[in-house]
Amino acid sequence: MMAWSRLVETWAGEGRKTVLVCADPWLYRHLAGLPGVNAAPPPSLPGPLPRLRGFAARLRYGLRAALGVRAKPTTPQGRSWLLSYANPQSGPDGTDAYFGPLMRERADLCRMLHVDCPPEEARRLNGGGRSFSLHHWGSALFALTGLPFARWIPRKEMLDGPWGWLVRRAATGEAATAQGAAIAWQIHCQRRWLADAHPLAVAWPWENHGWERDFCRAARGLGVASAGYQHSSVGRFELNHHVDANPDGLASLPDRVLCTGAVTRDALTRWGLPESRSRVAGALRYGFARGPRWDRDAPLFVALPGDMALAAQMVGAVSRVAPGLGRKILIRPHPVYDVAVPETHLVTRAATGLGGQAAVSAVIYAATTVGLEAVLFGLPTIRFIAAGCIAHDILPNTVNVPAADEAGLAAAIERAEPPPTVARDDVFAPVDHDVWRQALPLPKAAS
């Protein structure tokens, strides 16, 4: 929306008439206030429904959070921990979708599960008695009295400033969901756990979200070492990883960032992270198998992102081009965020991920690291461009692949060729166990 504003400012100063159609009521009001813009009456704002829906969603989340609170378990003191998300690919033996076999190789490590992990899933993952749920550290009273009111309330100067209408739009959209309540519950539980468990160090899949920034500050205040694991790609425009994305800069970043490879470490250095705060630790999530072979007559493989609206749009697009291609298409939903895949004689759900395929003719992706894996496997790779939204390009600035929207998808598939070779170790380096041991030290008695 800020980009649209800049475009309209340019057009308004060109001395010729440009007609702009805008159905978004907040953006319309913002554009109407720009110099040189003559605006008709704006679209109407919605009524109180978003706020009501948001309060109801937050109340429901608070009730569920309160019901998930159990007696706080006794946990080992002075250990190094992994703080991880729920993922179907994680297992009770310590296998973790983000940290691979690290817990199986390190008997001293414990795992704390993010509040996105339902209590029943946390019980499943606690096969070895070293996995715990953050829900146990929450206060049911806070869940019932605080979470229904947990939402972003912008400061008055933000609402009255040059981007006021766009800030209002963002605040209304956020308040329409329980996202604020979920973040508040994560922060509440993790602070109480840190104060209670006194970990030596904690590593987590680092993406520089708001709850992570609070975690860094809280851990540093308690003398707990923090290690953010850059577990997936950092694309050229994924600026949430930029130091300047934090109001307090480096103060909200982990003590060290453990990178999967030199390509990402170099990118983070360019974005303001001091080299002393990062190390190449290697790729725990990704094996080093050869991957599928390229075969022009093999099926297309479509890797869907976690964004369910974008994923549904991709399903529709590839289904509509399938008859003209006359080629089998395998669609693989995100392991956590599933979407419906209407199956036909040409379009089916993939039973395994990309690494489990014998051969593919091309890979179509959007906003998922599977696109980067495909490039590293030497497979023809196409980035899908959605309509009506922007999907982050997850590829680093040293890697380029063709991109296509639905209208150009069939032609892009027909032209698809293997990409230039990319050195895999530069992106997903072998695991450096010494770096991991330094980031997650052994208990003092054991060391």
Contacts of 228 (CB under 8 A, 6+ apart): 203, 204, 206, 208, 212, 216, 253, 254, 256, 257, 258
Tell how far CA 268 is from the center of its chain.
17
The whole-number pLDDT of residue 287 equals: 65
The answer to whether the CB of 53 falls within 8 A of the CB of 176 is yes
The answer to whether the CB of 138 falls within 8 A of the CB of 69 is yes
As beta bridge partners, residue 404 has: 384
d(CA 375, CA 143): 45
Tell how far CA 245 is from the center of its chain.
15
| DSSP line for 108-141 | T-EEEE-TTS-HHHHHHH-TTS-EEEGGGGS-HH
d(CA 361, CA 324): 16
Tell how far CA 178 is from the center of its chain.
17
SS3 of residue 357 by DSSP: coil
pLDDT in tens, the chain (447 residues): 999 999 999 999 998 999 999 989 999 999 999 999 999 999 987 665 555 688 999 999 999 999 999 899 999 999 999 999 999 889 999 999 999 999 999 999 999 999 999 988 999 999 889 999 999 999 999 999 999 999 999 999 999 989 999 999 999 888 999 999 999 999 999 999 999 999 999 999 999 999 999 999 999 999 999 999 999 888 888 889 999 999 999 999 999 999 999 999 999 999 999 999 999 999 998 765 678 999 999 999 999 999 999 999 999 999 999 999 989 999 999 988 999 999 999 999 999 999 999 999 999 999 999 999 999 999 999 999 999 887 888 898 888 999 999 999 999 999 999 999 999 999 999 999 999 999 999 998 665
Q: Which H or E run contains 389?
A: none
Domains along the chain with CATH numbers: 1-45 (no CATH), 293-426 (3.40.50)
Alpha carbons within 13 A on the beta-carbon side of 24: 16
pTM > 0.75: yes or no: yes
The whole-number pLDDT of residue 15 equals: 85
Alpha carbons within 13 A on the beta-carbon side of 35: 4
In the block, which residue shows the tokens 């906003």? 367
The whole-number pLDDT of residue 445 equals: 67
> Helix 308-325 vs helix 406-415: angle between axes, to the nearest 10 degrees?
60
The whole-number pLDDT of residue 163 equals: 95
